[in-house]
Amino acid sequence: METLNAAELLAALGHDSRLSIYRLLVQAGPQGMPAGAIGERLALPAPTLSFHLAHLSRVGLASKRQEGRFVIYAADYPVMDELLGFLTANCCGGNPCLPAAPAGATGTCRAPRNRSTQEQDA
């Protein structure tokens, strides 16, 4: 992924309504959600919702399909995975990361400590 493309995706998620919509779509899974249900869950008026859904679709974070009279929106998981991969490509100095820290733990990077640090702590 190009830096400019990643910046465009992150900018789209940088608005609180779009971030809320996107998180809801991710939670809904690949089957997605009807636009009306998204608007009801987030208490967004139809014109506002339409504007934000169009933006998410335009940058590639969401897709839409017609099912009868309903428009169903879904998160585009390959794009999300590519963005996450871009953001974490050099995580932990190129060392494999450990599993995520338990809930409530401080710090975000779970990089394995190098041997000299472990020996100093002993």
56-108, pLDDT tens digit by residue?
999 999 999 999 999 999 999 999 999 998 988 877 777 766 666 566 555 55
Q: What percent of the chain has pLDDT over 70?
A: 76
28 pLDDT more than 80:
yes
Domain with residues 3-79, CATH architecture: Orthogonal Bundle (1.10)
In one letter, which amino acid is 44?
Answer: L
- pTM for this model (two decimals): 0.76
Helix/strand/coil for 53: helix
pLDDT, mean of residues 13-20: 96
How many helices and strands in the chain, by DSSP H and E? Answer: 6, 3
In one letter, which amino acid is 11?
Answer: A
Report the Cα 28 to chain-centroid distance in Å.
13
46 pLDDT more than 80:
yes
Residues carrying CATH 1.10.10.10, the chain: 3-79
